[in-house]
Amino acid sequence: MEETAVYTVTLNPAWDRTAAVEGLLCGGTNLLRAPRGDAGGKGINVSRVLHALGKKTEALGLLGAGAGDVLLARLRAEGIRCDFVRLAGECRTNTKVIDLKSGVTTEFNEPGPQADAASLAALEEKLRSLPREAVVVLAGSMPQGIPEDWYARAAEICRSAGTKVLLDSSGAGLRLGLAGGPAVAKPNRAELETLCGMPLPELADVVGAARRQLLGAGVQLAAVSLGAEGAVFVTASQAVLAVPPRLEAKSTVGAGDTMTAVLADWLAGQQGQGAPSGEALEQLAASAVAAASAKVLREGTEPPRPEEIRAVAAGVRCRVIG
C-alpha cells in the first residue's frame, strides 16, 4: 500500500533568524552569537520534521516575496516538495533570541504580507484536489486579509474531499477552526486556557477542558503540550500523561511542531480506526513527546534525527491519568 502523504498548510511563513545571547539586556546592546537562518512557519516546520524522518510530505500555503524566495530555495535544497501560492508582499522575517543564562527564548515576529481573495481561492482549489485519505495539517497564525474562520472553511473543504485534518492553531484560529471538524487538535496549555476562558492549573483541569472544548467539538484525539512537563493526550475514554527526561535545551523553537508531525504521521496511518486506546495511546504519546524533546537538542528549528528520538524515548515516562 502506498504511503499516505501529509500536506501542511502555512498561511504566514517566515524566514526564522535564531541567535543566542549571554544574558539578554533590555534597553542595552546585545551581542548575538551563532546566528542562523531557517525556513519557518508551523506547517513548514512540520513538513521539515516529516521529511527528516523519511515520511512523505508536501508544504502548501501562501508565500510572499523577498525572504520568501530564500525560504523556498532552502526547502527545495532540503528536498521538500512545495506548492505555495505566491503573494506580492514581502515574506516576514522572525527573530528568536535565546538567553543562555536563563534558558528563555524571546521571539520578535513580523505580521506578514496581506493576502487577497484570489490567492486564498487558489489555495482552496489545491486543497480540493488533494488525494483522498491524505492528511492535512492546518497550523499557525493567519496573515492580514484572511477571515478568522478560514481554518473551519479549509477543514470542511478537506473533509469533503476525503482528507483528514489536524488543527494546530491558537486564538480565533483554534476556536473557530474546530467548527470544521478536525480529527486531531494540538493546542498548548495556554492556548487551551484561552479557549475555555479560565486557568487550568491541574492536570485534571487540562483533561476536563480538552474533553469539553475539543472532544466536545468532534475532535477524536486532543494533545495538549505542557512544555518541559511533557504533554497530555486525551480521548473520550482515556487520558495519558507523557513526561520527558530532563535535557539541556539548545532551542525550544519548533518542539511543538515536531510533536504535531508525529501526530500527523500517526493520523496518516489510520484507516478508519478512530482514536487510539490503551497501549496504542501510550505508545503514541511516548513517541510524540520523545520527538519534541529530541528537537530541543538541535539548534534553531533544525529537526531531530530518528536516532536522537530513539535515544530520548528511553527516558520518556507515561501514565494514565484519566
257 catalytic? Reply is yes
Question: Is the residue at 283 inside a domain?
Answer: yes
Instruction: Write out the DSSP string of 154-170.
Output: HHHHHHHTT-EEEEE--
Rounded to whole angstroms, the maximal C-alpha distance in the chain is 58
C-alpha cell at 29: 546592546
> Per the residue annotation, which of 16, 38, 257, 265 is the catalytic one?
257
Domain CATH code at residue 108: 3.40.1190.20
pLDDT tens track for 47-86:
999 999 999 999 999 999 999 999 999 999 999 999 999 9
Question: Is the residue at 61 inside a domain?
Answer: yes
C-alpha cell at 149: 474562520
Question: Is the residue at 148 inside a domain?
Answer: yes
Question: Is the residue at 191 inside a domain?
Answer: yes
Kindly state the DSSP code that residue 214 receives in the 8-state scheme: I
C-alpha cell at 322: 484519566
Measured CA to CA, the distance from residue 136 to residue 169 in angstroms comes to 13
User: What pLDDT was estimated at residue 273?
Assistant: 67
Ranked by mean pLDDT, which of 27-41, 184-198, 297-311 comes out on top? 184-198
Question: Is the residue at 26 inside a domain?
Answer: yes
Measured CA to CA, the distance from residue 219 to residue 187 in angstroms comes to 12
Return the residue matching grid coordinates 470542511.
Answer: 156
User: What pLDDT was estimated at residue 277?
Assistant: 79
Question: Is the residue at 161 inside a domain?
Answer: yes
Contact of 198 with 190, CB cutoff 8 Å: no
The reported pTM is 0.91
In 48-62, which positions are buried (b, 16+ CB within 10 angstroms) versus exposed (e)?
bbbbbbebbbbbbbb
Instruction: Find residue 139's DSSP bridge partners.
Output: 10, 168
pLDDT tens track for 193-251:
999 999 999 999 999 999 999 999 999 999 999 988 999 999 999 999 999 998 877 77
Measured CA to CA, the distance from residue 61 to residue 168 in angstroms comes to 15
Question: Is the residue at 261 inside a domain?
Answer: yes
Structural domain harbouring 143: 6-320
- Tally of domains within the chain: 1
Question: Is the residue at 1 inside a domain?
Answer: no
Measured CA to CA, the distance from residue 275 to residue 152 in angstroms comes to 21
